[in-house]
Amino acid sequence: MSVLFRCTSTLAQGVNLPIRYLVVSSTFQAGQEISTRDFHNLIGRAGRAGYHTEGSVIFADTDVFDKRNNFHERWRWQRAMHLLDFTNTEDCASSLLDLISPFDFTELNVDAIQFIANPAGYRQSCIDVGNQNAIGISSLLDQMGYKEALIEAIESYFLSYLKDNPNAPQTFFDDLAQGTLAYFLSDYDQKQKLRAAFSFIASRVLSVPEDKRQFFGKSLLGLKNLFLIENWLDENWSEVAQAQSSNELLVICWPLLFQLNNNKMLLKIKPENVILDFTKLWISGSSYTDLRSYLDQSGAYYQAGSQRRNIKMDHVVDLADGALSFDSMLYVGAIADVAEGKGLDGDLLELLRSLQTRLKLGLSNSLEIWLYSQGYVDREVCKTLGSVLNGQGVNSDVFDYDILKTYHQVVSECISKFPSYFSG
């Protein structure tokens, strides 16, 4: 039996899955060119001893080969050849070294450690100096954004650790820095910078009151966004408390979610006002085809630099599965964590958790979500099966967990129309 798996390059590298064919749809990973080392990890999945003694790597973009002799387009072919050459493999490295590495920007005198000490203040001072001297600093701001993402990841880990280890010794963070791969790979100067970076980040985390660490540490966010969420909840508590459904909560929380979410696809779909209605359709269970039709009918477009491009299905999938199902779901979860820590009413907390799950799965009611949790991990299968069970009198919000046994024959007939995977 032949089985087709489609997954991200990151997942493919981490799963010990022997395959016959590796289909490479793009040599870009998260907006950046995939490294030669990562690519070789990928092709290591194809052709494994004991399974397939040979494996094939297929570049799905036909332009790679067809335009290999075109002066302006041959870069794709050259890039593919570069990736296939094992002599081009990069040295083993650590992303923590990117945190302390100097900024690649010569127009201003900028210091990475000073930025780590006070990201928001240092960024604003650079913006002010750039405006005063008519210096474009967009590339510098991009680099700061990357470093800040690393800072937030470290803050999140520190918060999580302190949540479970409130009596951790003061030396823990310095010992942690000295135990990293980055520290092992560093020279003396880099080692001192790494320890200083961890010290600055630890100081900010330790300044958080202990009672807040208990719910801050549950989320995967950094301090800046957590304090933003907390302040927003304080200012909008009465409005949040009046919400009667997860749909209402979505509308109330949307300005905050849009402010928190830096997903590139979310920011490139214009006009911005179509995204909220797109999200409403997503959590109501609309198909990807219907979602694309909505964007087309709304006059939406993809902003690529100065160009306006037509919406493609890839844009729809990235917006739904990335910006909403992952990023926005994560932020709603953080809102729920902070709200729970601040004593939000249990029913409202349940609505927030419901919104979080609906954003993650793109499903509209408790029955469909429950079916997903039972192993029917496909939106269309859950929607169809839910509709069939509704026809048998099953309520979408209140139902018996034995319904799959009770309506076994009906369920089997419904599932038989889908791939056999769902009948197992």
Q: Is the same domain home to 230 and 273?
A: yes
Question: How many angstroms separate the CA atoms of 195 and 152, rounded?
Answer: 17
Is pLDDT of 332 > 70? Answer: yes
Is pLDDT of 14 > 60? Answer: no
Give per-residue pLDDT as tens, 148-205: 999 999 999 999 999 999 888 889 999 999 999 999 999 999 999 999 999 999 999 9
Question: How many angstroms separate the CA atoms of 139 and 104, rounded?
Answer: 9
Give per-residue pLDDT as tens, 218-273: 988 999 999 999 999 999 999 998 999 999 999 999 999 999 998 989 999 999 99
Answer yes or no: is 1 within a domain.
no
Answer yes or no: is 218 within a domain.
no
Q: Is the same domain home to 241 and 194?
A: no
Answer yes or no: is 288 within a domain.
yes
pTM for this entry: 0.79
Question: Domain end: 30, 65, 88, which one?
Answer: 88
Q: Is the same domain home to 102 and 188?
A: yes
Residue 225 tokens read as 């966004």
Question: How many angstroms separate the CA atoms of 97 and 172, rounded?
Answer: 20
Question: Domain end: 72, 88, 104, which one?
Answer: 88
Q: Is the same domain home to 77 and 100?
A: no
Residues 6+ apart with CB under 8 A from 39: 27, 83
Q: Is the same domain home to 269 and 166?
A: no
pLDDT > 70: percent of the chain: 92
- Choose among 62, 82, 83, 84: nearest CA to 73: 62
Identity of residue 363: L
Answer yes or no: is 215 within a domain.
no
Question: How many angstroms separate the CA atoms of 129 and 135, rounded?
Answer: 8
- Choose among 53, 44, 56, 37: nearest CA to 17: 44
Q: 226, 158 in Cβ contact below 8 A?
A: no
Q: How many domains does the chain have?
A: 4
Q: Is the same domain home to 25 and 66?
A: yes
Q: Is the same domain home to 335 and 378?
A: no
**Which residue range is the domain that position 302 belongs to?**
223-361
Q: Is the same domain home to 230 and 352?
A: yes
Q: Is the same domain home to 353 and 285?
A: yes
- Please name the helix (run of DSSP H) or strand (run of DSSP E) that holds residue 369, with its range, or none: helix 366-373
Answer yes or no: is 368 within a domain.
no
Q: What is the CA radius of gyration of the chain?
A: 25
Q: Is the same domain home to 279 and 353?
A: yes
Question: Domain end: 159, 180, 207, which one?
Answer: 207
Q: Is the same domain home to 194 and 237?
A: no
Give per-residue pLDDT as tens, 64-117: 888 889 888 888 888 888 888 877 766 667 889 999 999 999 999 999 999 999
- With cut-offs at 50, 70 and 90, classify the pLDDT of residue 42: confident
- Choose among 177, 215, 216: nearest CA to 199: 177
Low-confidence winner among 5-9, 62-66, 93-97, 126-130 (lowest mean pLDDT) = 5-9
Q: What is the pLDDT of residue 84?
A: 81
Is pLDDT of 53 > 90? Answer: no
Say whether the peptide bond before residue 419 is cis (omega within 30 degrees of 0).
no
Q: Is the same domain home to 407 and 387?
A: yes
Q: 123, 115 in Cβ contact below 8 A?
A: yes
- With cut-offs at 50, 70 and 90, classify the pLDDT of residue 31: low
Q: What is the pLDDT of residue 1?
A: 46
Answer yes or no: is 68 within a domain.
yes
